Structure 1
Amino acid sequence: MKRFVVLIVTVLSLTAMASAAGFSKMAEGKPQLIQSGPQKMWCPVCGMNLKMFYKTSHAAVLKDGTKKQYCSIRCLAADWPNIKENVEKILVVDAKTGELIDAKRARYVVGSKIKGTMSMTSKIAFAKLEDAEKFQKKYGGKIVDFDAAFKMAQKALAKDSMMIARKKQTKMYPMGERIYKKMCQPIDVSKFAHINDLKAAIRSEKLCKPMKEKQLQAVALYLWDVKGGHADDMMKGCRCDMNRGRMPGCKGKMGAAQPAAGPDLSKQEKCPVCGMFVYKHPKWAAFIYYEKNGKLAHLAFDGVKDLMKFYFEPEKWGDYGDIKKHIKKIVVRDYYTLKPVWAKAAWYVVGSDVYGPMGNELIPFKTKAAAENFMRDHHGRKILRFDEITKELVYKLDE
């Protein structure tokens, strides 16, 4: 009986594969790539080659003229928190003609036999309803509009991200590490704002020996996620428990989700709030990473208190424009271990008898247990999470 069931499943799987074999996501002819610079051929979120996944490609045109192009609606959903306030138009590739069209007018076939791009569920768009119906008849699925397809992508973001993370950890990261050590010179990931910038530099600046696209992708993922500490970018939209290193519903540890330790502190680097040289107080150093002119820049602070003052009112400390819209990550250091911790995942003790360079401090810890131990030993008043810290509380620490 078992053999019969296995045979039936195998036949059904082969039938599905054969049915999907007539459709390719690759561009037929010259694709419309609207990003600028040598990085335009790769997705800024996951680094996937846009020519290879052209028929699921989406693009966002921002109000400042910036154009971002993604391999999938999933990566658009992942980047949405960063761009939603500035989006002017969303485009998608018509799978029939290969033309970029207004996504709001497109018809999506969701859940067909075609494998999803960065997702467990495929979402293929068409300009004309009749083309979507022909596709549906051949490959299955249901037809919806953009709003429905995008809501599905957002809702599935956590599960899709966990699936992708497991694949990266078991295959892409180990492969990328091996290739990087054999074929590349040392690469400073902090110089790049997006993974596609990194991939473009590896090629154009010949930072590695010539390699195939799959090898380049593996190296870029290893550098970006593991060495650069950007694994959390992929997990946007997920409720990630960074302190346990575990995702709800995920059996494995999220081993790659560790922030970078922060840049080397030069002797010229001053805290933008108090003006102190941060290198003199490395134990208390905290960092804000942000995108500036297409590159990843950072600001260093001599404590979480000053970092939060800047975070709440950046305009008060200099001409930083709309920097809050361009912040990519915030990193603090665990008080006991001095290891880097994502600021939004840390636990902070206030009101203790331990002082930082600027007096009373918000003292960060990777785990709640460590924060509780510190609070008992040093007479702390309370433990807060990042989102519980208020501007009023920060300034009251100076009293």
Structure 2
Amino acid sequence: MKKTLLILLYLSLSIYANPLSVKATNDVDYFQSGDERFWCPISGFNLKENYKTSFVSTLNNGRKRQYASITFLVKDNEEYGIDLNNVQVIDWSSEKYIDAAKAYYVVGSKVKPLLANESKIAFKKEKDAKDFIKKYNGKIISFEDAIKLSQKTLKADYKKQKTINMKKIYPKGKKIFEKRCSQDIDPTDYLEINELKADIINNNLCKKLKESQLQTVAMYIWNVKRFGDLDSIKNRVVVEEDEKCPVCGMFVAKYPRWAAQIIYSHGNHEHKFSFDGVKDLMKFYFDPKRWISSNNHMVNNDNIKQILVTDYYSQEAIDGAKAYYVIGSDVYGPMGHELIPFERLEDAETFKADHSGKLIIEFDKLKEEEIYKLDE
């Protein structure tokens, strides 16, 4: 009798379950490694909670990435570069991953979008997509068109969401952070927001939080605290939001604590290149023609006007040609092992002692082969 009642209760709840929920109803397949695999690396959103709009890609370096929606896939492609012929998407009907390029996408249905104005959900079978449209509206488009549509609205979508975050999310996140979390959390220790969320849980950096609270506080830490302390520093390496590192292709503004620049001057013209770390700056310095068009005659070492790097302690812009660099420490930058710059030798010595550094070296002593050894 008790078992029968439980079955009836389950069936009654199923009737009222939201048929347009994007949450997984079966087991979830995770493709990323480590404890951060449960969250989207771009947005931080929980993948189980957004499973039915999720995608999986492979970066050019072979690393798997899993996203809460197509918006974040497109955002990642904008920075890292993704092989769009090697993308998988969840089939709404079966909740199994399928070839994204062969799927049928329903855009403009009643499914609530995560960030964009319109959701884009995938179906393996065209019939399933058409049946869905009869109930919940929308139209069918191809993967190529879904990508183009997301690219077209990406900037506006993020601008709209930023306004919402500023008014609602960040103030809530700040309250949670100040009341329930360790004040020693350093967001610059992490390269992605999902790594931050994993560390908060694994090392009890906050009192027990619901997933919604964890997302809110992580967004505050990642998007506000990570940059907020830098606003008071007047002499910084200034990087525009759309500047990409010519070596790795990453948006440099995302990593202000590692920003570096080379400025070339020829006559009345100047050309600036920004980098997400000294390592990539040095790769460019030794062989600029490898990373840009060989037709740019201005870019050679005779035309260098200034080299700027970010002092690790002060976060101020300093003369890279006069800086001291610590190599082989346990501190990693956006691209892994880094040359950590300091204006003062005594600061470099302190850092070397505190972080197991192997060597302090001046700019003119650096050699190209030593730079590439940092990638090993």
TM superposition score normalised by structure 2? 0.61
Match of 2:197 in 1: 199
The residue correspondences of 1:246-261 to structure 2 (distance < 5 A) are none
Q: What CA distance in whole angstroms lies between the structure 2 residues aligned with 1:322 and 1:151?
A: 34
Q: What CA distance in whole angstroms lies between the structure 2 residues aligned with 1:127 and 1:46?
A: 26
RMSD of aligned residue pairs (Cα, Å): 3.7
Cα gap change, 1:277 to 1:222, in 2 (>3 Å): closer
Cα gap change, 1:77 to 1:220, in 2 (>3 Å): same
Match of 2:341 in 1: 300
Query: 1:173·1:218 contact (CA, 8 Å) conserved in 2?
Result: yes
Q: Does 1:80 pair with 2:77?
A: yes
Q: What CA distance in whole angstroms lies between the structure 2 residues aligned with 1:120 and 1:286?
A: 45
- Kindly provide the CA deviation profile for residues 285-321 of structure 1, in whole angstroms up to 9, marking residues without a partner as x: 389952328xxx674376xxxxxxx9xx995761167
The letter of the residue matching 2:334 is Y
Q: For 1:284, which of 292, 305, 317 is the aligned residue?
A: 317
Q: For 1:174, which of 171, 175, 180 is the aligned residue?
A: 171
Structure 2 residues not aligned, in runs of 5+: 1-16, 229-238, 242-252, 259-277, 283-306, 321-331, 344-362
The residue correspondences of 1:258-273 to structure 2 (distance < 5 A) are 262=257
Alpha-carbon offset, residue 193 of structure 1: 0.8
Q: For 1:221, which of 209, 219, 222 is the aligned residue?
A: 219
Query: 1:180·1:219 contact (CA, 8 Å) conserved in 2?
Result: yes
- Kindly provide the CA deviation profile for residues 48-105 of structure 1, in whole angstroms up to 9, marking residues without a partner as x: 0111111100110235431100000001111112332566611111010000111001
Alpha-carbon offset, residue 25 of structure 1: 0.4
Q: For 1:138, which of 135, 138, 142 is the aligned residue?
A: 135
Query: 1:77·1:154 contact (CA, 8 Å) conserved in 2?
Result: yes
Q: Does 1:98 pair with 2:78?
A: no
Q: What CA distance in whole angstroms lies between the structure 1 residues aligned with 2:119 and 2:21?
A: 13
Cα gap change, 1:277 to 1:36, in 2 (>3 Å): closer
Q: What CA distance in whole angstroms lies between the structure 1 residues aligned with 2:202 and 2:36?
A: 10
Alpha-carbon offset, residue 281 of structure 1: 8.8
Match of 1:58 in 2: 55
Q: What CA distance in whole angstroms lies between the structure 1 residues aligned with 2:60 and 2:44?
A: 24
Alpha-carbon offset, residue 22 of structure 1: 2.6
Q: Does 1:35 pair with 2:35?
A: no
Alpha-carbon offset, residue 279 of structure 1: 7.2
Match of 1:318 in 2: 371
The letter of the residue matching 1:300 is P
Query: 1:56·1:123 contact (CA, 8 Å) conserved in 2?
Result: yes
The letter of the residue matching 2:81 is K
The residue correspondences of 1:107-126 to structure 2 (distance < 5 A) are 107-126=104-123
Query: 1:314·1:320 contact (CA, 8 Å) conserved in 2?
Result: no
Q: What CA distance in whole angstroms lies between the structure 2 residues aligned with 1:298 and 1:21?
A: 52
Query: 1:62·1:87 contact (CA, 8 Å) conserved in 2?
Result: no
Q: For 1:190, which of 176, 188, 191 is the aligned residue?
A: 188
Q: What CA distance in whole angstroms lies between the structure 2 residues aligned with 1:99 and 1:318?
A: 43
Query: 1:56·1:72 contact (CA, 8 Å) conserved in 2?
Result: yes
The residue correspondences of 1:9-20 to structure 2 (distance < 5 A) are none
Query: 2:60·2:82 contact (CA, 8 Å) conserved in 1?
Result: no
TM superposition score normalised by structure 1? 0.58
Structure 1 residues not aligned, in runs of 5+: 1-19, 231-240, 244-257, 264-270, 303-309, 324-399
Q: What CA distance in whole angstroms lies between the structure 1 residues aligned with 2:367 and 2:161?
A: 35
Query: 1:105·1:127 contact (CA, 8 Å) conserved in 2?
Result: yes
Query: 1:63·1:88 contact (CA, 8 Å) conserved in 2?
Result: no
Cα gap change, 1:277 to 1:130, in 2 (>3 Å): closer
Aligned length: 262
